Amino acid sequence: MTASFRAILLCLVGAGFVTCELGRQENPAGGALYARYCASCHGVTGRGDGPVAASLDPHPADLTHSNLELGDLIRRIDGRSATRPHGTSAMPVWGEVFNEELITEPKAREITRLRLQALAEHVRSLRATR
């Protein structure tokens, strides 16, 4: 089992144990995507303390300390064009995951782009939880 596949599996399994308070979010779509795909590793508040975080190496980033702008966040979450100067990332390549999930959809690329943007906007909103 590859490290990337293992990370995806842990995220998807762990997502069942994480809830997100969608009522208080400005971006409910991004919050729902975050709860499903990210919170199991990064934690509900983005501090890198999700239910599977302890089993991951490297440890998930604390997103509340991110200074990345929206475009950079989108590219980092997408992962398909990311340069990895220090080896591979344990984070799944969500752009590929979303495209695979939408393989039968005629607008898969557009939906993937919108998902990535919604996720990035939500991650950016986590800065306020510091």
The pLDDT value recorded for residue 9 is 46
Task: Give the whole-angstrom CA distance, residue 89 versus residue 101.
Answer: 21
CA distances from 53 to 11, 46, 74, 108, 121 (A): 9, 11, 22, 30, 22
Q: Among 54, 57, 56, 22, which Cα is nearest to 36's?
A: 22
pLDDT above 80: residue 6:
no
The pLDDT value recorded for residue 82 is 64
Token output for 128: 């306020």
Query: pTM value?
Result: 0.74
Compute the average pLDDT of residues 45-67.
93
Q: What is the pLDDT of residues 60-100, one digit of tens each?
A: 999 999 999 999 999 999 998 866 554 566 788 999 999 99
The pLDDT value recorded for residue 91 is 86
Averaged confidence pLDDT in the chain: 81
Compute the average pLDDT of residues 116-122.
96
Percent of the chain predicted with pLDDT > 90: 62
Buried b (16+ CB within 10 A) or exposed e, 62-88: bbbebebeeeebbbbbbbeeeeeeeee
pLDDT above 70: residue 129:
no
The pLDDT value recorded for residue 7 is 52
| Beta carbons of 10 and 56 less than 8 angstroms apart | yes
Q: Which residue has the tokens 């800065």?
A: 127
Cβ neighbours, 10 Å, residue 97: 19
The pLDDT value recorded for residue 90 is 77
